[in-house]
Amino acid sequence: MDPSSNFSSYRSTLKAAMWRSAGATDERQRIVVPFFSLLVKDLYFLNEGCSNKLPNGHINFEKFWQLAKQVTEFIAWKQVACPFEKNPRVIAFLQASPVLTENALALASFECEPPDNNPEKERYKALKNAASTILADMRDYRDINNLDANESTASSTSEKDCAGRSSRTPAEQRLKSLDGSMRTFTVDVARE
Query: What are the pLDDT digits (tens) for 110-144?
Result: 888 999 999 999 999 998 888 777 666 666 555 55
More confident residue, 152 or 126: 126
- What per-residue confidence (pLDDT) applies to 137? 63
Co-location of 27 and 57 in the same domain = yes
Domain containing 32: what range? 3-83
pLDDT attached to residue 132: 73
Counting the structural domains of the chain, the total is 2
In a shared domain, residues 76 and 127: no
> Residue range 53-65: average pLDDT?
95
**Within a domain: 186:** no
Name the band, by pLDDT with cuts 50, 70 and 90, for residue 30: confident
Element (H, E) at 23: helix 4-23
Same domain, yes or no: 23 and 60: yes
* Phi–psi pair at 31, nearest 5 degrees: -75, 130
**Residue 73 forms part of a structural domain:** yes
In a domain, 173, yes or no: no
Dist CA 8 CA 146 (whole Å): 40
> Would the pLDDT of 181 be above 80?
no
pLDDT value at position 168?
53
pLDDT over 50 (residue 37): yes
Considering the domain architecture, whether residues 78 and 137 belong to the same structural domain is answered as no
Whether 71 is in a domain gets the answer yes
The pLDDT score that the predictor gives to residue 45 is: 94
Q: Which helix (DSSP H) or strand (DSSP E) does residue 156 occupy?
A: none
> Does 14 share its domain with 78?
yes
| Whole-Å CA distances, 41 to 1, 37, 49, 70, 146 | 16, 6, 11, 12, 30
Residue 96: exposure state from Cβ atoms within 10 A (0-12, 13-18, ≥19)? middle
Structure confidence at residue 49 as a pLDDT band (50, 70, 90): very high
pTM: 0.51
3-state secondary structure of 63: helix
Helix, strand, coil: what percent of the chain each, to 5?
70, 0, 30
Same domain, 108 and 79: no
Would you say residue 55 has pLDDT above 90?
Answer: yes
Evaluate whether residue 7 is within a structural domain: yes
Task: Report yes or no on 47 lying in a domain.
Answer: yes
Reported confidence tier of residue 16, pLDDT bands at 50, 70, 90 = very high
| Residue 118 is assigned to a structural domain of this protein | yes
CB 147: neighbour CB atoms within 10 A?
Answer: 20
Check: CB of residue 169 under 8 Å from CB of residue 98.
yes
Residues 15 and 56 in one domain: yes
In which band, very low, low, confident or very high, does the pLDDT at 68 lie, cut at 50, 70 and 90? very high
- As a whole number of angstroms, the distance between CA 55 and CA 63 comes to 14
